[in-house]
């Protein structure tokens, strides 16, 4: 325990994030649709079950971030980690599809609360290196997200002949990872190293009504800040495209005759490019203009999407998917850091909660709108349309976002 107390808060947070997001991801990929189907759920209900946690994210991210501004990051992160630890145990007792919906809603609360608050803690810990450190933290969660489907698939295969352990083996591992994240969260420091001067002391002595009023005031400041809202919108556009990409690139690849293992490599190339390039691109954003990097990332993403329907062979499609991963890292390594730059240090949680909610709306809307376009006009029109959306956003984003907050990035 003494060793854990001596670990830096950032390393500890990265480890918590890896375990938490691994736990969250393995609960749904690839086990969730298979489990729901075996419980008798039809396709429409399976889609609703899968979307339940995203809807929770839209509803909870803002209040979670705002509460962390008032009551501290650690308390809110520990609460989220408790859900990560307890929710997997509930899957073990699920016997009907409606029960699964309720468990997914409860489990979705963990990611909705944890995501923006963890990023707010990184923003508290660093200023000059904010983009790079946010990139490293995000990459640690992507490692967990990447490992989860692989290990989940192995467990489903190993226990395929056991009616009792087939799905329970996956949720048992999910529970172990969640419990590790909860145990580690208890060792996070109580205070952020860079709070506004006197803020923590004033919060301690403030009555509950005063804390609520301060939370409302901070959230109001965030919701009136043009730079925060526009940058969050750029993030939403990026995740709109990613939502369309992750759902329909596999189907497009199948339509041109690629094998399943090739499709796996395509999706893996995007994840690997995103994971390994994000810290480096975050460091670049610390040294240069974040708004310009967001614009260039969106333009690169537009190019990757526009190329997709013209890639009829595996190697060309692999290049396009890798390009999309790098350009996504270019955008997302800058957006969260820029939102934190725009916000006051006492409003980091509210600002990143707002960004998370807007991003979730874009992410949820991407597959739905892309599906409608593909159904009516085909893949070429879909990817071209989303690419054009990226290009238009890139063109208008710098002007809409307003001035860049350079002065806030001089402190260590």
Per-residue pLDDT of 28-70, as tens digits, reads 888 888 888 889 888 668 777 877 787 888 889 989 998 998 8
Mean pLDDT along residues 240-245? 86
The pLDDT-based confidence of 210 (bands split at 50, 70, 90) is low
Residue 200 has pLDDT above 90, yes or no: no
CA distance 95 to 386: 40
Mind listing the domains of the chain with CATH numbers?
Answer: 2-186 (1.20.1250.20), 220-401 (1.20.1250.20)
User: pLDDT band at 197, cuts 50/70/90?
Assistant: very low
Better-predicted residue by pLDDT, 249 or 1: 249
pLDDT in tens, 110-121: 999 999 999 999
d(Cα 274, Cα 135) in Å, to the nearest integer? 10
Q: Is the pLDDT of residue 205 over 90?
A: no
Confidence of residue 192 (pLDDT cuts 50, 70, 90): very low
Give 362: exposed, middle or buried? Use CB within 10 Å, 0-12, 13-18, 19+: buried
Report the pLDDT averaged over residues 2-13: 79
Q: Report whether pLDDT(364) > 90.
A: no
Return mean pLDDT, the chain.
85
Confidence band, pLDDT 50/70/90 cuts, at residue 410 = very low
pLDDT tens digits for range 276-289: 899 989 889 888 88
The model's confidence at residue 211, banded by pLDDT at 50, 70 and 90, is low
Angle among Cα 122, 23, 184 to the nearest 5 degrees reads 50
Q: Are 367 and 244 in contact (CB under 8 A)?
A: yes
Give the highest mean pLDDT range of 83-87, 154-158, 312-316, 403-407.
83-87
Higher pLDDT, 243 or 107: 107
Task: Considering only residues 174 and 127, tell me which one the structure prediction assigns the higher pLDDT.
Answer: 174
Return the pLDDT at 198. 44
pLDDT at residue 193 above 50? Answer: no
Residue 3: predicted pLDDT: 66
* Spatial contact of 196 and 344, defined as CB atoms under 8 Å apart: yes
Q: How far is CA 7 from CA 11, 187, 232, 279, in A?
A: 7, 9, 32, 21
Q: Is the pLDDT of residue 104 over 90?
A: yes
pLDDT for res 260: 67
Please tell me which of 197-201, 230-234, 366-370 the model is most confident about, judged by mean pLDDT.
Answer: 230-234
Residue range 397-406: average pLDDT? 79
Residue 391 has pLDDT above 70, yes or no: yes
CA end-to-end distance (rounded Å), the chain = 29
Q: What angle do CA 77, 119, 15 make, to 5 degrees?
A: 65
Give 295-339 pLDDT, tens digit per residue.
999 999 999 888 888 888 888 989 998 999 999 999 999 998 898
* Stretch 218-232: mean pLDDT: 85
Predicted pLDDT of residue 288: 84
Q: Which two tokens stand for residue 372?
A: 């409608």
What percentage of the chain carries pLDDT values higher than 90?
38
Higher-confidence residue: 160 or 15? 15
Residue 116, SS3?
Answer: helix
Asked whether 207 and 334 are in contact (CB, 8 A), the reply is no
């Amino acid at each position: 325990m003494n060793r854990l107390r001596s670990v830096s808060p950032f390393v500890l947070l990265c480890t918590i994030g890896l375990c938490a997001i691994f736990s969250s991801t393995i609960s749904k990929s690839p086990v969730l649709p298979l489990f729901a189907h075996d419980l008798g759920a039809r396709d429409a209900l399976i889609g609703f079950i899968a979307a339940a946690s995203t809807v929770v994210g839209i509803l909870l991210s803002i209040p979670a971030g705002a509460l962390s501004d008032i009551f501290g990051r650690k308390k809110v992160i520990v609460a989220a980690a408790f859900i990560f630890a307890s929710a997997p145990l509930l899957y073990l007792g699920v016997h009907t599809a409606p029960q699964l919906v309720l468990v997914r809603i409860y489990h979705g609360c963990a990611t909705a609360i944890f995501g923006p608050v963890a990023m707010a803690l990184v923003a508290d810990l660093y200023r000059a290196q904010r983009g790079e450190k946010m990139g490293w933290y995000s990459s640690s969660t992507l490692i967990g997200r990447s490992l989860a489907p692989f290990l989940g698939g192995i467990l489903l295969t190993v226990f395929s002949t056991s009616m009792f352990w087939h799905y329970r083996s996956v949720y048992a591992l999910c529970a172990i990872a969640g419990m590790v994240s909860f145990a580690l969260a208890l060792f996070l420091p109580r205070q952020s190293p860079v709070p506004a001067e006197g803020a923590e002391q004033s919060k301690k002595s403030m009555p509950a009504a005063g804390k609520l009023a301060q939370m409302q005031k901070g959230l109001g400041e965030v919701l009136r800040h043009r730079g925060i809202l526009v940058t969050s919108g750029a993030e939403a556009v990026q995740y709109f495209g990613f939502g369309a990409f992750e759902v329909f690139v596999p189907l497009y690849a199948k339509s041109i005759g690629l094998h399943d293992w090739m499709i796996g490599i395509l999706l893996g190339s995007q994840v690997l490019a995103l994971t390994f390039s994000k810290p480096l691109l975050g460091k670049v954003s610390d040294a240069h203009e974040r708004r310009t990097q967001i614009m260039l990332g969106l333009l690169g993403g537009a190019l990757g999407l526009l190329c997709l329907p013209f890639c009829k062979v595996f190697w060309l499609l692999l290049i396009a998917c890798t390009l999309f991963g790098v350009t996504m890292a270019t955008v997302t390594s800058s957006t969260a850091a820029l939102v934190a730059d725009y916000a006051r240090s006492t409003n980091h949680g509210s600002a990143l909660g707002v960004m998370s909610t807007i991003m979730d709306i874009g992410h949820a809307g991407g597959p739905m709108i892309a599906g409608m376009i593909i159904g009516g006009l085909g893949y070429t029109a879909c990817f071209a349309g989303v690419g054009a959306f990226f290009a238009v956003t890139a063109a208008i984003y710098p002007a809409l976002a307003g001035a860049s907050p350079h002065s806030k990035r001089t402190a260590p």
